Amino acid sequence: MNFQMFNQDILKAEWKKEKQMPIFSYLATPNTGQKNDLLKDLNELEHCEAVPAENEELIILVTEAPDPEMEKQLQQQLKQLVSLQNLSMTYGHADQADHN
């Protein structure tokens, strides 16, 4: 491996450490009769995209925060939603730098 390629690999690893983008998907269950309210509440939150399921009283939620700290803040906001009964994670991923 030449020196220039080695430096590029180090820069890529450093960028990944600094630019982690946690991505999660959830099934959100609204409180009784509050599906539309929950859909509105979720879509008003920054870094959230919510769509209603077609055949259930569920909402599909995808979050993509710019960094892990913002993801923690988003989780706190989700916990405070009055229209939300339950939130079940279906997928989670955060880019991690390879430390090997």
The pTM of the full predicted model, rounded to 2 decimals, is 0.72
Q: How confident is the model at residue 91 (pLDDT cuts 50, 70, 90)?
A: confident
Please tell me which of 43-47, 63-67, 87-91 the model is most confident about, judged by mean pLDDT: 43-47
> Mean of the pLDDT values across residues 58-86?
94
User: What is the residue whose two structure tokens read 């229209």?
Assistant: 83
Gap between the Cα atoms of 59 and 46, Å rounded: 17
Bridge partners, residue 62, by sequence: 25, 49
Q: What is the CATH number of the domain that holds 46?
A: 3.30.70.920
Tokens matching residue 24? 């999660």
Is residue 59 one of the residues assigned to a domain?
Answer: yes
pLDDT at 20: 65
Q: Domain residues for 37?
A: 3-93
Q: What percentage of the chain has pLDDT greater than the value 70?
A: 72
Between CA 97 and CA 100 the distance in angstroms is: 9
Among 38, 82, 31, 34, which Cα is nearest to 60's? 38
